[in-house]
Amino acid sequence: MRTSKRVRAGQYTALLAYLVFLAFPFLWLLSTAFKPPRELASLHPTWVPRDPTLANFRQAFEEQPLLRAGLNSLLAALGAALVAVLIATPMAYVMARHRSRLSRAATGWVVVSQAFPFVLVIIPLFLVLKNLRLIDSVPGLVLVYVVWALPFALWMLTGYVRAVPVELEEAAAVDGAGKLRTLASVTGPLLAPGIVATGLFAFITAWNEFFFALVLLKTPEKQTLPVVLTHFLGAEGVADLGPLAAAAFLATLPSLVVFAVVQRRITGGMLAGAVKS
Amino acid sequence: MTKTAEPAGGPARRLSGPGAWFLVLPALIPILVLSVGPLLYGVLLAFTDAQSGRTDPTRWIGALNFRDLLHDTLFWESFRIGLFWAAGVTVPQFLLALGLALLLARELRLRWLARALAIIPWAMPEVVVGIMWRLVYNPDAGLLNETLRDLGLGDGRDWLSGLATALPAVVVVGVWAGMPQTTVTLLAGLQNTPRELHEAAAVDGAGAWRRFRTVTWPALRPVALAVTALNLIWNFNSFALVYVLTGGGPGGRTRLPMLFAYEEAFRYGQFGYAAAMGCVMVAVVSVLLAVFLAGRLTGGDDA
């Protein structure tokens, strides 16, 4: 198919417009993070800081307990990812391989859980966790995140399991391997990349999560990064822009890096999960 | 769960009974205790006068919360804002994403860059997206006003606290934040379009628009429907973006239902009342969604 020059030019213009739209807020964040206060106060801000500085980063760490918050976020996200994958993988296996009422109910839950307004779930969860004395604690948050990450984890993992041919397992069974042996040495290794991708995705979701953390964590030393970031905002309009931008940029780095690694697998997994059984 | 159940075939069948339960329980218990349970509990709470930090026991009050809610003009105002926001974000999000996906499906240079950039809004914490756009909208040091000044279009304004501009301004952020995920999903859907059909149609002299309508769209429609429905729900229930951008202000102009319910529950401690709001939100979203899907599934088949 030939495309005329004029159409081509139009396509490139459109693509360029998209690129600008997608990129400019992030570039502006970067630029703000490296600007000294004098330039931030200027009525004619520039794209590239004239006098780039790291002072904003230092100030950000002085103003808010960012390290502590980063550690909390890391614990919450790692805990949630590990537990979610650990309990979702066996269930996804059953859902993919064994058509039963239970599997159908679980699939139904996965879909319905997308429609909950969190507020309907968070009030009872708040009361339950309070009774368990898990409120205002990172382990309590991990519990919530695990359940919150489960629908998507199940969805993706079910797709990955389906992608492993049943015939392989049958062949192993014919060769005399037991069920556990088959799972460990045939299905497991083939599933491993999918499990890792799912875990990393759960990590990002938990690392980025704000609403549950805002409601459940009250003590400043226990709060996660997104919650601590909002402390920079202070009263309307008086936010200290430099340190705010610096802290926001730092908080984004881990999820950006992880996401860049798994993006391809995640989109693949979403589609795999969508394949009709 | 009997062994003689449907012929699912192969080793799968050997997995019935206690074996399957053993595999399922580790996930099933948390789902029941921390998701299904709380959801039912939440619905029950809507019929009580539960409040935070109260000492006397919670009582059943029947549908009183719902009756109060019916007359709560602030809530319905917030509801209206929520619907405007959900539609105002979802529709442009879909159109822009579709455009970008169609571009990315062609062999253009810079495709890799667009793919890489699309990662950024997707992977970012919503709080950071909000902060970033506050920097853009900032009245003094913000990029938007600066650009307007450079173009000689006046001094700009305080976008996020202007009564007229606040809601459109947050809608733009919503579109920006959700576009990449929609794009990637649609792009994956586009890969299912039969290429030969496309070429055959071109040979027959069908223009770009006709090819899109007769070849691309029918193949893309299921994906497009699913992603729009999900976006609609997610957007209606969204919280963090607007919380960071405006906190619901100015004067409640951007107070989405989630923000309203959050304040009711955790600022004023009205658990029962907030739960009733949650119930109403679920109900309305379900109805809207049913109407949307039913309309599309029956009406669009011969289009």
The per-residue DSSP string of A219-252 comes to SGGG--HHHHHHHTT-STT---HHHHHHHHHHHH
User: Nearest-CA residue of chain A relative to B20?
Assistant: A94
CATH number at residue B216: 1.10.3720.10
ipTM above 0.85, yes or no: yes
- Residue-wise pLDDT for A195-242, tens only, equals 998 999 899 999 999 999 999 998 988 999 999 999 888 755 556 888
Phi and psi (nearest 5°) for B60?
A: -75, 135
State the pLDDT at residue A203.
93
State the pLDDT at residue A236.
52
- Residue-wise pLDDT for A96-148, tens only, equals 888 777 778 888 888 777 777 677 888 988 988 888 888 899 999 999 999 88
B97 within a domain of the structure (yes/no)? yes
Residue to test with chain B: of A73, A98, A164, A231, most B Cβ within 10 A: A98
CA distance A245 to chain B (A): 7
Beta-carbon contacts of residue B78 (< 8 Å; ≥ 6 apart): B252, B255, B256, B257, B259, B260
Beta-carbon contacts of residue A136 (< 8 Å; ≥ 6 apart): A216, A217, A218, A219, A222
Judge whether B220 is closer than 8 Å to chain A, CB to CB.
Answer: no
Beta-carbon contacts of residue B165 (< 8 Å; ≥ 6 apart): B157, B159
Question: What are the chain A neighbours of B199 within 8 Å (beta carbons)?
Answer: 1
- Residue-wise pLDDT for B128-183, tens only, equals 999 999 989 988 778 888 888 888 777 778 888 888 889 999 999 999 999 988 99
CA distance A204 to chain B (A): 7
- Do A71 and A49 belong together in one domain? no
User: Nearest-CA residue of chain A relative to B184?
Assistant: A267
What total of structural domains would you count in chain B? 1
Judge whether B124 is closer than 8 Å to chain A, CB to CB.
Answer: yes
- Do A37 and A86 belong together in one domain? no
Cβ contact B36–A154 (<8 Å) = no
Nearest to A41 among B14, B15, B141 (CB): B141
Nearest 5°: the CA angle B266, B234, B78 is 50
What is the Cα–Cα distance from A119 to A83, expressed in whole angstroms? 24
- Do A46 and A63 belong together in one domain? no
> Which residues in chain B come in under a pLDDT of 50?
1-14, 300-303
**Contact, B217 vs B225, CB < 8 A?**
no
**Contact, B273 vs B264, CB < 8 A?**
yes
What total of structural domains would you count in chain A? 2
Judge whether B43 is closer than 8 Å to chain A, CB to CB.
Answer: yes
What is the Cα–Cα distance from B180 to B295, expressed in whole angstroms? 27
User: Nearest-CA residue of chain A relative to B53?
Assistant: A127
Question: What are the chain B neighbours of A28 within 8 Å (beta carbons)?
Answer: 132, 135-136, 143
What is the Cα–Cα distance from A88 to A146, expressed in whole angstroms? 10
B115 within a domain of the structure (yes/no)? yes
B256 within a domain of the structure (yes/no)? yes
Residue to test with chain A: of B28, B45, B131, most A Cβ within 10 A: B131
Residue to test with chain A: of B13, B23, B198, most A Cβ within 10 A: B23
User: Nearest-CA residue of chain B relative to A85?
Assistant: B27
Would the pLDDT of A10 be above 70? yes
- Do A19 and A136 belong together in one domain? no
Cβ contact A150–B146 (<8 Å) = no
B152 within a domain of the structure (yes/no)? yes
The residue to which tokens 């948390």 are assigned: B30
C-beta neighbour count of B1 within 10 angstroms: 12
- Do A48 and A76 belong together in one domain? no
User: Nearest-CA residue of chain B relative to A252?
Assistant: B124
Cβ contact B258–A117 (<8 Å) = yes
- Do A166 and A233 belong together in one domain? yes
B54 within a domain of the structure (yes/no)? no
CA distance B302 to chain A (A): 23
CATH number at residue A222: 1.10.3720.10
Question: What are the chain A neighbours of B262 within 8 Å (beta carbons)?
Answer: 119, 211, 215
Would the pLDDT of A277 be above 60? no
Question: What are the chain B neighbours of A41 within 8 Å (beta carbons)?
Answer: 140-141
Question: What are the chain A neighbours of B30 within 8 Å (beta carbons)?
Answer: 87, 143, 146-147, 150
Cβ contact A210–B265 (<8 Å) = no
Q: What's the Cα-to-Cα distance from A255 to each of A242, B118, B215, rounded to whole Å?
A: 21, 14, 38
B/e letters for B290-299, b = 16+ CB within 10 Å, e = fewer, are: eeeeeebeee
CA distance B260 to chain A (A): 10
- Do A146 and A77 belong together in one domain? yes
In chain B, residues 132-191 whose CB comes closer than 8 Å to chain A: 132-136, 138-143, 146, 149, 158, 161, 176, 179-180, 184-185, 188
- Do A60 and A49 belong together in one domain? no
Among B237, B224, B191, B229, residue whose Cα is nearest residue B97: B224
- Residue-wise pLDDT for A50-107, tens only, equals 888 888 899 889 888 899 999 999 999 999 999 999 999 988 988 888 877 777 888 8
What is the Cα–Cα distance from B116 to A143, expressed in whole angstroms? 33
Q: Which domain holds residue B175?
A: 64-299
Cβ contact A117–B237 (<8 Å) = yes
Cβ contact B135–A245 (<8 Å) = yes
- Do A44 and A147 belong together in one domain? no
Phi and psi (nearest 5°) for B269?
A: 75, 15
User: Nearest-CA residue of chain A relative to B45?
Assistant: A124
Judge whether B11 is closer than 8 Å to chain A, CB to CB.
Answer: yes
Cβ contact A32–B135 (<8 Å) = yes
Q: Which domain holds residue A20?
A: 5-53
CA distance B128 to chain A (A): 5
Question: What are the chain B neighbours of A259 within 8 Å (beta carbons)?
Answer: 119, 122-123
What is the Cα–Cα distance from B72 to B171, expressed in whole angstroms? 25
- Do A65 and A40 belong together in one domain? no
